[in-house]
Chain A
Amino acid sequence: MPEIMICMNDLKKTYTSMGDEVQALRGVSLDIYKGESLAVMGHSGSGKSTLLSILGGLNPPTSGTIEIDSIDLYALSQEKRADFRREYLGFVFQQFQLIPYLTAIENVMLPLTTTSNSNKVKREMAEGVLCRVGLAGKMNRLPNQLSGGEQERVAIARAIVNEPPVVLADEPTGSLDTKTGDEIMELFQELNQEGLTVLMVTHNPDNTRYMGRTILMKDGQLCTDKAEILQLVSGKKR
């Protein structure tokens, strides 16, 4: 029986907008196992991004609990949660979200900035992951000197440089062409095969081919209708 990495229990999230209450999550319970890769699909407003932000320790749920590696995420103080994110989670944001005035290697070193490692060790770690994602020769370029695919690789390198057990990705191929998107998904697949737990929010059914499991969000809940899921991911390689 694989070890549970992430355990979500009856997560609910309600937003108040202009006096109206919007229920973004209506009781989501889900276990994600160590080394698993999971795609979260769903239409806009289905609650998948809310789920990801709660999972990332950035957005407290209205009720319910979430444990990562048996640590109750929202029992931690805000600052401890920041430390937790640094150690346990890697983020790959939509639109890469690289810092425009830092070079590729400096962007990758960002999560290491607040650690006690020496500058030399930080640089070596960053160089290592940049080589791993195929950017050995472009470390000192600024983001605007890199292609979209290369920027995505820098973003992935930044997410894994501190060797977190879990990587959360939000539409990582959303702004890439198909070929580059496939390359990025292959990279995620490789990282997963190396033991990383990957959770990815995506609109693109093709991406589910590279993920071990796919769940569907609908109206703030997990969709259990297998036919609907199969329809959504039709064309996925078996």
Chain B
Amino acid sequence: MQLYHIAINNLRRRKAKMLFVLVGLVIGVATMVSVYGVVETMKTEMTRQVAEFGANVVITPDAGELTFSYGGITLPEVMFDVERLTMDDVAAIASVPSRNMIRAVAPKLLGLASLETGQNLIVVGSNLQQEFMVKPWLRLRDAQEMAETGRRTMVTSDGQEMEFERLDLARQDFEQLSLKDNEILLGSTLAANLGIMEGDRLTLSGQGFHVFGVLKDSGSSEDEQILMNLGAAQAFLGRPHEVTVIELAADYTLGSEDALIAQLRQALPRAEVTSLRQEALRRDEMLTRLSRFGMSVSVLILFVGMLVVGLTMSGAVRERTREIGVFRAIGFRKSHVTKIILMEGAFVSVLGGIIGYIAGTSAARLAGPVLAGMEISVPWRFDLFALAVLLAVVIGLAASIIPARQAARLDPAEALRFI
């Protein structure tokens, strides 16, 4: 017979009351776990998506104060010579120790070219295969759109002409496409504005180019740009060896983001290395708001849970006045009585934490995808489980302190009224 036997037996006897306490704790913990679980999973999912699709590291020249924006990325003013990135910088990226994390390196050169009418257009020279890897949303207009134009042939990288209907424009084929140096791709908006279609010729700054294809409308800056091979652009713009920006697709599941960024900064001391993952997460206001709101509600519910525990335990102590008087009369110290009450609080709390975690995670798994509007799968996490139980115990114990002191302070003579 130990003190905990008394605590456990009392809990078993007062099932209804303890169930009430338990429910209070479970609701509080479950709410917190579910909100935390959903938000954390959303963050992880967004990180994964950013890591898996598209560029998540951008390297730009050290800009000083002269900047302009390209597709949400801040770039140095092209017209001013501040610092320039070169193909040597591109080569230097391949030498960093964490290079295995880098899935794609997409250097590009930006410049302006003028039409015969005098209109200036943005020309982007890039390594197309790598470019398409870091910009997975890019597509060529599909076969039907193409067919409507009456063009039925297309030239592949080996120079063969083929029937367009037979070409599957799935991503893997698209990424295998390569342009000749006199071929360009046009953004959809630009093509529409200029009234140009696949196969047409376009004269830029006095040089003739063959329009290989038109990109599908993507809502991005590419809609108004001209894409060509990096080498061709460097020659055309008269800026050999130069690049304006380097985009990287890094897989953060293979290593530390901080280490990679630090290594890149060391390898490219004259360049700005920016990680877009944190930027992306920071930008997501919905996530931040949901997180704040959820946590506020959780804290409120936990507080209510704590009150429920405290009031119920306090009521139970009052009911047990005579019993506690007996304990004291037969030689229990105040500390023994305190321990019994705290143990009861702790036992219910541990149970509340376990059930709360299971309920919260289950709710998050069921409601999370709907709530988040994302395909997420909230995992069963041991660290969150431990945190939930710890949280429940802290709350349970904090709420039991006053009833425990109340019990310990009971005057045994008064409690028993006679002896």
A binding-site residues for B, Cβ under 8 Å: 49, 52-53, 56, 58-59, 78-79, 82-83, 85-87, 91, 93-94, 97, 99-102, 106, 109-114, 119, 122-123, 126, 158, 162, 168, 170
Give min CB distance, B61 to chain A, whole Å. 76
B2 within 8 A of A: yes
Contact A49 to B418, CB < 8 A, known contacts A109-B1, A110-B1:
yes
Contacting pair B9 A53 (CB below 8 A) = no
Contacting pair A83 B419 (CB below 8 A) = no
Q: How far is the CA of A162 from the CA of B1 in the complex (A)?
A: 14
Contacting pair B336 A114 (CB below 8 A) = yes
Contacting pair B1 A119 (CB below 8 A) = yes
Could you say which interface size class chain B belongs to?
20 to 34
CB-contacts of B304-343 with A (<8 A): 322-323, 326-336
B416 within 8 A of A: yes
A87's contact among B329, B331, B333, by CB below 8 Å, is which?
B331
Sample 13 A-B pairs with CB under 8 A, ordered by A number. Answer: A58-B328, A58-B413, A82-B331, A82-B334, A85-B330, A94-B419, A99-B326, A109-B1, A110-B6, A110-B327, A113-B6, A113-B332, A114-B333
A53, A114, A162 pick with most chain B CB within 10 angstroms: A114
Contact A86 to B1, CB < 8 A, known contacts A52-B419, A53-B413, A102-B6:
no
Q: How far is the CA of A94 from the CA of B419 in the complex (A)?
A: 8
B13 within 8 A of A: yes
B10 within 8 A of A: yes
CB-contacts of B337-381 with A (<8 A): none
Contacting pair A102 B419 (CB below 8 A) = no
Give min CB distance, A86 to chain B, whole Å. 2
B5 within 8 A of A: yes
Contacting pair A85 B419 (CB below 8 A) = no
Q: How far is the CA of A126 from the CA of B5 in the complex (A)?
A: 16
A79, A97, A100, A113 pick with most chain B CB within 10 angstroms: A113
Contacting pair A106 B332 (CB below 8 A) = no
Give min CB distance, B23 to chain A, whole Å. 21
Question: Which B residues touch A101, using CB under 8 A?
Answer: 9-10, 12-14
B192 within 8 A of A: no
Contacting pair A111 B331 (CB below 8 A) = yes
Question: Which B residues touch A49, using CB under 8 A?
Answer: 418-419
B24 within 8 A of A: no
Contacting pair B6 A91 (CB below 8 A) = no
Q: How far is the CA of A93 from the CA of B3 in the complex (A)?
A: 22
Give min CB distance, A100 to chain B, whole Å. 7
Q: How far is the CA of A100 from the CA of B333 in the complex (A)?
A: 21
Contacting pair B5 A106 (CB below 8 A) = yes
A168's contact among B328, B336, B419, by CB below 8 Å, is which?
B419
Question: Which B residues touch A112, using CB under 8 A?
Answer: 1
Task: Determine the main DSSP class of A at the interface with B.
Answer: helix
A102, A106, A123 pick with most chain B CB within 10 angstroms: A102
Give min CB distance, A171 to chain B, whole Å. 8
Q: How far is the CA of A158 from the CA of B1 in the complex (A)?
A: 13
Question: Which B residues touch A52, using CB under 8 A?
Answer: 418-419
B14, B329, B335 pick with most chain A CB within 10 angstroms: B329
Contacting pair B334 A79 (CB below 8 A) = yes
B419's contact among A56, A78, A100, A119, by CB below 8 Å, is which?
A56
B418's contact among A94, A109, A111, A158, by CB below 8 Å, is which?
A94
Question: Which B residues touch A109, using CB under 8 A?
Answer: 1
Contacting pair A93 B323 (CB below 8 A) = no
Q: How far is the CA of A58 from the CA of B331 in the complex (A)?
A: 10
Q: Using CB atoms, name the residue of chain B closest to A90.
A: B330
Q: How far is the CA of A58 from the CA of B412 in the complex (A)?
A: 6
Q: How far is the CA of A87 from the CA of B332 in the complex (A)?
A: 11
Give min CB distance, A226 to chain B, whole Å. 28
Give min CB distance, A9 to chain B, whole Å. 20
Q: How far is the CA of A53 from the CA of B5 in the complex (A)?
A: 28
Question: Which B residues touch A99, using CB under 8 A?
Answer: 6, 323, 326
Give min CB distance, A128 to chain B, whole Å. 14
Q: How does the 8 Å CB contact mask read for B384-419 relative to A, with 1 for contact and 0 for none? A: 000000000000000000000000000011001011
A85's contact among B14, B331, B334, B336, by CB below 8 Å, is which?
B331
Question: Which B residues touch A82, using CB under 8 A?
Answer: 328, 331-334
Q: How far is the CA of A106 from the CA of B332 in the complex (A)?
A: 15
CB-contacts of B1-26 with A (<8 A): 1-3, 5-6, 9-10, 12-14
Contacting pair A113 B1 (CB below 8 A) = yes
Question: Which A residues touch B412, using CB under 8 A?
Answer: 58
**Nearest 8 A/B pairs, CB to CB:** A86-B331, A101-B13, A109-B1, A58-B413, A59-B413, A85-B331, A111-B330, A101-B9
Contacting pair A93 B416 (CB below 8 A) = yes
Contacting pair A86 B6 (CB below 8 A) = no
Q: How far is the CA of A101 from the CA of B6 in the complex (A)?
A: 8
Question: Which A residues touch B328, using CB under 8 A?
Answer: 58, 82
Question: Which A residues touch B1, using CB under 8 A?
Answer: 106, 109-110, 112-113, 119, 122-123, 126
Contact A114 to B3, CB < 8 A, known contacts A82-B333, A91-B329:
yes
Question: Which A residues touch B327, using CB under 8 A?
Answer: 110
Q: How far is the CA of A85 from the CA of B329 in the complex (A)?
A: 7
Q: Using CB atoms, name the residue of chain B closest to A169.
A: B419
Question: Which A residues touch B334, using CB under 8 A?
Answer: 78-79, 82
Question: Which B residues touch A93, using CB under 8 A?
Answer: 326, 329, 416, 418-419
Given A78-B334, A110-B330, 14 more contacts at CB 8 Å? A58-B413, A58-B419, A82-B328, A83-B333, A85-B329, A85-B331, A93-B326, A101-B12, A102-B6, A106-B9, A111-B331, A113-B2, A113-B332, A113-B336
Contacting pair A119 B2 (CB below 8 A) = yes
